[in-house]
Amino acid sequence: MSNDLNATHDPNLRSWVETANVAGCDFPIQNLPFGRFRPAGSNEPFRIGVAIGDRVLDLEAAHVLEHSDMNLVMSASPAERAALRALLSEDLREGSPRQNHWELALYAQADVEMALPCTIGDYTDFYTGIHHATTVGKLFRPDQPLMPNYKWVPIGYHGRASSIGVSGQRFKRPHGQTKAPDAEAPSFGPSKRLDYELELGFFIGEGNAQGEPIGIAKAEQHLFGVTLLNDWSARDLQAWEYQPLGPFLSKNFATTLSPWLVTMEALAPFRARSFDRPAGDPLPLPYLDSDVNRHTGGLDITLEVWLQTPKMRDAGVPATRLTRSNAAQAAYWTAAQLVAHHTVNGCNLQPGDLLGSGTLSGPEPDQAGSLLELTLGGKNPVALPNGERRTFLEDGDTLTLRGYCERKGAVRIGLGEVSGTVF
């Protein structure tokens, strides 16, 4: 199982890549996330790499793989994935006889261009963040913040895979229809309420045949790994279009991912109980429930949002943190429950399919995962340290998500970061 501890998680392991041993490093030898890269400025094909310290190991050049198809790696069985992780851990640790050979297959991360970690066939965005759902619901439905189905069924919609980009993505402000409350007819123009959403992305490994649901007991085996995800949202377009079928143009213009895919195996030391449902909440239906999922279905991942405005950038002022939350305390439904529900009707998932968590806000105001929440629908602008204020994102703003796991007895690992800029 992906949540079992083994020798690859040993906190005493050290790598011959010295930067992987630095305290606070996102990519120690206990992590080993996958990504696709090529030398910056080149036209070479993208190939599969593993992050280690501030370097990336070319798995073809190291003769670990004979191909550059990340989806093929993701489709492997849990046993095959565990064997690959064990090999990488063994040969990247201090004293490895492979050091002299593998040093020739290392690139500085600062010198490479990253692509999306795999080919994404389909993208489904869920709504698992109960604090986000409740806060936003209160803005629009004070008497009924959550719809009656929220605590019974994982809510989701099918997103647009073609507009998903990797960290560093620059995208134009979306245009569309909006309607002011006092207007007789809608108008067309650029969105004035552009927002971000702090999410995790779960990638499918092994798929399932159409008509054959994945049971909750086996759902973890079909999850390959986790990445950071920013689901950009045009709130004014969304308000006008979302009834009766849900988001459309307000969501499909851009979604940004971290380039690094942290495997479920790497996250084993940071598993947590599933969301602690308050007394009176219904228990999940049997197809969404198991003892294992209750006790280890959650992920103890700290999530942060950082904003840098053009004025801050021009003045050499670093980004300022807007939010810090935790996935285990935010997600009402676990990743395994999303897989089980997505397939219970016979839907077939494929390697590389992406499931978004939905906005993972905490219960406190400073843990909100969107500007819609931080500003209470635009009523209370956020004051920045340089005197600027933000209600929603302005042109030139760069938004960065960061994620990491820390726990006593384990080595800290990170998810890297994902940044995007609107212009």
Q: Which residues are catalytic?
A: 132
- Exposure string of 366-395, with b = 16+ CB inside 10 Å and e = fewer, is ebbbbbbbbbebbeeebebeeebebbbbee
In 3D space, the residue among 354, 367, 252, 389 whose CA is nearest the CA of residue 305 turns out to be 367
What is the distance between the alpha carbons of residues 311 and 85, in angstroms, rounded to a whole number?
Answer: 44
Identify the burial level of 408 via C-beta atoms within 10 angstroms of its C-beta, where 0-12 means exposed, 13-18 middle and 19 or more buried. exposed
Place of tokens 């402000």: 173
CB 26 within 8 A of CB 415: yes
Cis, bond preceding 244 (omega within 30 deg of 0): yes
What is the distance between the alpha carbons of residues 414 and 230, in angstroms, rounded to a whole number?
Answer: 17
The two three-digit tokens of residue 79, written as one number:
């046993």
Q: Which residues have CB under 8 Å from 140's CB, separation 6+?
A: none
In 3D space, the residue among 403, 406, 408, 421 whose CA is nearest the CA of residue 33 turns out to be 403
